[in-house]
Structure 1
Amino acid sequence: MTLLAVERIKLFSTRSPWWCAALALVITVGITALIAANTSTEFPLTVGVTQAFYTFGMYVVLVMAALAITTEYRFSTIRATFLAVPNRISALLAKTVVVSLLAGVIGELVAFGSWGISKLIKPDVNIAINTAQEWRNVAGVGAVFFVGAIFAIAIGTLLRHTAGAVALLLVWALVVESLVGIIPKIGDDIQRWMPFVNGNRFLTAGTEPFPGEPVINYPFGAWGSLGYFAAISVGLLIVAFVVAKRRDA
C-alpha cells in the first residue's frame, strides 16, 4: 500500500496526467457533441454512436501512461525509486496499478460524458442504456482504457524514451492496426489478432457496423476479445519487467 501511495503522489504531483485527462474528456465529448447535434433519420443517434469516438480519448491516455514511466527515465528519478525499492518489479507494478486505474476512471468519464452530452443535445431521442450489450458498450470503455494503459506502460518501460514510446504507440494504434487489413490475402487474418482491434471488438460486439466499416471474422466473442487484449498487454508488461530488472536504470 505504501508503494501505491507513493506512486499516486508522484503521478498527481506532475501536470501531465491532469492535462491528459482534461484533453481526453474535451476532445472525445466535444466531437461526440458535434456528431450528436448533426444526427438525423438517415444517421440516427444511438448508444453506439455516442461511444464511436472513444478512441480519441484513448490515444491521449496511452500518451499519459507512457509519460508516467518514460519521464522517470528521462530525469533519472527512476534511479532514486530503485534505490529506495530494490525490488524493481514491485515499484513498477505499483506504478502500473495506479496509472491503469486512473486510465480506467478517465475512460468511464469519457464514456458517460459522451452519452450524457448526447442525451442533453437530443433529449427526445431514446438512447437509454437498457441491455447488457449497451452497458458493455458504455461502461466497458473504462476497461479498455485500463488495459490500454498497461500496454502503454509496458512499451514505455521497454523503450525508456518518451518520443520513441509515444510514436510507437500512436503509429501502432492509429496506422498499423488499421492498414494491416489491406494486405492482400493475409491482411484480414492478421488484423483479427491485433490487440486494439480486439479491444474495440469488446465494446462493439453485437452492434450494427457503420457504413463502410470492414467486417472482421474475430476469433473470440466480446469478453474473449477483452481477455485476449488483456493477455497481450500483461504478457508485454511481464517482458518489460524482466528487461527492467536486468538492465541498468
Structure 2
Amino acid sequence: MTLLAVERIKLFTTRSPWWCTLIALVLTIGFGALMAGTSEENIAPLTIAATQFGYTFGLVVVMVMAALAITTEYRFSTIRATFLAVPNRPTALIAKATVVAVLAAIVGEIAAFGSWGIARLMKPNVDLAINTAYEWRAVAGVGLVYGISAVVAVAVGVLLRHSAGAIAVLLIWNQLVEPLVQLIPKVGDDIHKWLPFNVANKLITGNPDPSTRDVLQGPPPSDAVLGPWPALAAFAGFAVVLFGIALVVANRRDA
C-alpha cells in the first residue's frame, strides 16, 4: 500500500496527467456532443454507439499519459532513486502500472458516461436508455479498455525509456499499423482480426443489437473473431505478457 501511495503522489505532482486527463475528457465528451448536435432521425440517428464516437481519441491521450508516467522518470533519472528505495524493481513498476491503470479506467468511465450524459441532455426526446448487454459494454466497457491500454503504454515506456519514442510507437501502432495491415493482400484481413487494439474494440462494438447499431454510427466495428468478453481477456493477456517482458528487461539492465 505504501508503494501505491508513493506512486499516486508522484503521478499527481506532475502536470502531464492533469493535462492529459482534461484533454481526454474534452475530446470524448466533445465528440459525444458533436454527434448529438448533428444527428438527424432519418439520416444519422443518435444511438448509444454514436455517443461513444470519440472514445478512440481519448484512448490515444490516455496512452500518452501512461507512457509519460514512466518515461519522465527515466528522462530525469528519478527512476534511479525509485529503484534504490525499492530494490525489487518489478514491485515498483507493478505499483506504478496499477496506479496509472486505475486512473485511466476512471477517466474512461467519466468520459464514456459523460459522452452519454451530454447526448441525453442535448436530445432528451431520443431513447438513449442503457438496457441491453451491448449498450452497457459500449459505455461502461470504455473504462476497462482504457485501463488495460494504460498497462500496455507503461510497458512500452519501460522498454523504450524515451517519451518521444514510446509515444510514437503507441500512436503509430494504434492509428496506422493496425488499420493499414488490412491492405496486405490475401492475409491482411486475417492478421487484423487478431491485432490487440482491434481485439479490444470488440468489447465496445461487438455483437450489437441490429436495431440500435448502425455501422456508420459510433466507433468502427471490430472484426475480431472472439466474442466481446473473450476479446477483452485476450487483450488483457497481451498486456500482461508485454508488461512481463518489460519487467524482465528492466530488471536486467542499468537504470
TM-score category of the 2 structures, normalised to the smaller one: over 0.9
- Which of 237, 240, 245 is the matching residue for 1:239? 245
Deviation at 1:14, TM superposition (A): 0.6
Q: Corresponding residue for 2:13?
A: 13
User: With structure 2 as the length reference, what TM-score do the two structures score?
Assistant: 0.95
Question: Matched residues in 2 for 1:114 and 1:215: separation?
Answer: 18
Q: Corresponding residue for 1:170?
A: 171
Distance verdict in 2 for CA 1:211–1:35, change over 3 Å: closer
Q: Which moved more, 1:52-61 or 1:68-77?
A: 52-61
Distance verdict in 2 for CA 1:217–1:113, change over 3 Å: closer
Number of residue pairs the alignment of both structures matches: 249
CA RMSD after TM alignment: 1.4
Question: Matched residues in 2 for 1:182 and 1:206: separation?
Answer: 25
CA contact (8 A) 2:31 2:53 kept: no
Q: Corresponding residue for 2:162?
A: 161
Point out where structure 1 has 5 or more consecutive residues left out of the alignment: none
Deviation at 1:182, TM superposition (A): 1.4
Deviation at 1:211, TM superposition (A): 3.7
Are positions 1:210 and 2:211 aligned together?
A: no
Q: Corresponding residue for 2:35?
A: 35
Distance verdict in 2 for CA 1:227–1:86, change over 3 Å: same
Deviations 1:168-198 (A, max 9, x none): 0000000111111111100000000110001
Q: Corresponding residue for 2:45?
A: 44
| 4+ long deviations beyond 4 Å | 212-217
Deviation at 1:209, TM superposition (A): 5.0
Deviation at 1:219, TM superposition (A): 2.6
Point out where structure 2 has 5 or more consecutive residues left out of the alignment: none
- Which of 188, 201, 224 is the matching residue for 2:230? 224
Deviation at 1:215, TM superposition (A): 7.1
CA contact (8 A) 1:4 1:94 kept: yes
Distance verdict in 2 for CA 1:44–1:214, change over 3 Å: closer
Q: Corresponding residue for 1:141?
A: 142
